[in-house]
Structure 1
Amino acid sequence: MLPKQIAGISIPDSALAAEATELVRDTESELLFDHSLRVYLFGALQGRRLGLKYDPEMLYIGAIFHDMGLTEQYRSPDERFEVDGANAARTFLERHGVPESSIEVVWDAIALHTTPGIPKWKKPEVALVTAGVELDVLGLGYDDVSAEARDQVLTAFPRVDFKRRIVQAFADGIKHKPETAFGNVKADVLDKLLPGYVRPNFCAMIAASPFCE
């Protein structure tokens, strides 16, 4: 059972949220599951600070599904892992009859969470999933959240050698399809951990296009 509230943020406990929690917990490693809950809580804390109005249940679904595309069960052979996670959430929400408008928001929240500069201009749920990811992974906005709130989040969902293990989890989830890292931050992960990986160069790709000029 998850706590009902952490740092003044309620954790959704509807039937939909409970089933999503069970699915994600049964699929992801403890590392990814605890990270995903921290993403929800940190995102919600940022939302409270900014006075944003959002659907807590959809923010929660977006947060806990955001790394499902890294798992063996949900990773595809050729799509970005963010898209795999977004598609997993879509399938789950469609099965429960959630309106398409809400599904699209959750899909965007997951698919865009590693694309800096865009989510903040989208719906609050989209912006806040990325805000939670950026805080937990990169420390962006660390001082926006009080030390007391951070401590409560970390007590409930601890970081255990997180900085090293999350990078390895990223690499393990996408090393079979390195081409999907082109143009996004995961190229840095493969450059560090995948032997023989050569980062694609956008300018070289333009020069190599088949047009005669």
Structure 2
Amino acid sequence: MKKSIAGVDIPDGAVAQAATDLTQRMESELMFHHAQRAFLFGALTGYRENLRFDAELLYVGAMFHNAGLNARYQRSPYRFEVDGANAAREFLKQHAVAEHGIAEVWMAIALHTTPGIPEHLSPLVALISAGVQMDARGARYDEFTAQQRDEIVQAYPRESGFKKKLIEAYARGMEHRPATTFGTVNADVLDRWDPNYRRLNFCGMVLGSDWPN
């Protein structure tokens, strides 16, 4: 019987199950539950706004959206979002998912921390961002009913101290590649986490460039 939470059916096909098994092994329980809640909040947003989307691809995108924070990527030169997007792409290729679906999931993960862009793209891209932002910072919190929020948190709990632990998880996944945070919300994370971190400043880069004027 299909599992349903807050009126959302959890995808249980072969691809979704494989994504669940892989990310559950790869991530802490805190981050795995965050991914599950992100899917549910994203799906509910899609229902509320009457958007058409592939629930299984939304699920895979949510499962992989923080994969790039894994310790295996600590020496990566890329933004963690790109590492996660690449991991999802390789996973979906192994399961013979259509190229357009793979590209959409890649875009959704790569842009999920870039405010102001995802909502103007496809429903899948918009909903991954919406689900993550709701669970991470309470974006559009009051647009969900108390019952919906309670059911989701009961199924996939926000453990004690979740807010600070989430910031720590992001910071530890990026502290070895601080330059990748330029121009993203990730700079806020390292600014709070690492007293030695210094933000790159776009204006400073323009004024300090090799151009003579």
What range describes the TM-score normalised by the shorter chain of this pair?
Answer: over 0.9
The RMSD of aligned alpha carbons is 1.2
Scaled by the length of structure 1, what TM-score is found? Answer: 0.97
Equivalent residue number for residue 106 of structure 2: 107
2: CA distance, partners of 1:210 / 1:124: 42
Scaled by the length of structure 2, what TM-score is found? Answer: 0.97
Equivalent residue number for residue 190 of structure 1: 190
SS in 1 for 2:72: coil
Equivalent residue number for residue 166 of structure 1: 166
Measured against aligned partners, the alpha-carbon deviations of 1:173-211 in whole angstroms (never above 9, x if no partner) come to 000000001000011111111131111111010011111
Question: What is the aligned residue count?
Answer: 212
- Which structure 1 segments of 5+ residues have no match? none
- Alignment-mate amino acid for residue 154 of structure 1: V
| CA pair 40-64 structure 1, distance change in 2 beyond 3 A | same
SS in 2 for 1:73: helix
Measured against aligned partners, the alpha-carbon deviations of 1:28-61 in whole angstroms (never above 9, x if no partner) come to 0111100000000000011111111100000001
Question: 4+ residue stretches of structure 1 with deviation over 6 A?
Answer: none
- Is the Cα contact below 8 Å between 1:82 and 1:111 reproduced in 2? yes
- Is the Cα contact below 8 Å between 1:59 and 1:125 reproduced in 2? yes
Kindly indicate whether residue 146 of structure 2 is the aligned counterpart of residue 147 of structure 1: yes
Equivalent residue number for residue 16 of structure 1: 15
- Alignment-mate amino acid for residue 200 of structure 1: L
Equivalent residue number for residue 88 of structure 1: 87
- Is the Cα contact below 8 Å between 2:3 and 2:10 reproduced in 1? yes
SS in 1 for 2:71: coil
Could you tell me the percent identity over the aligned residues? Answer: 51
Measured against aligned partners, the alpha-carbon deviations of 1:159-178 in whole angstroms (never above 9, x if no partner) come to 11111100000100000000
Equivalent residue number for residue 6 of structure 2: 7
1: CA distance, partners of 2:212 / 2:148: 59
| CA pair 130-86 structure 1, distance change in 2 beyond 3 A | same
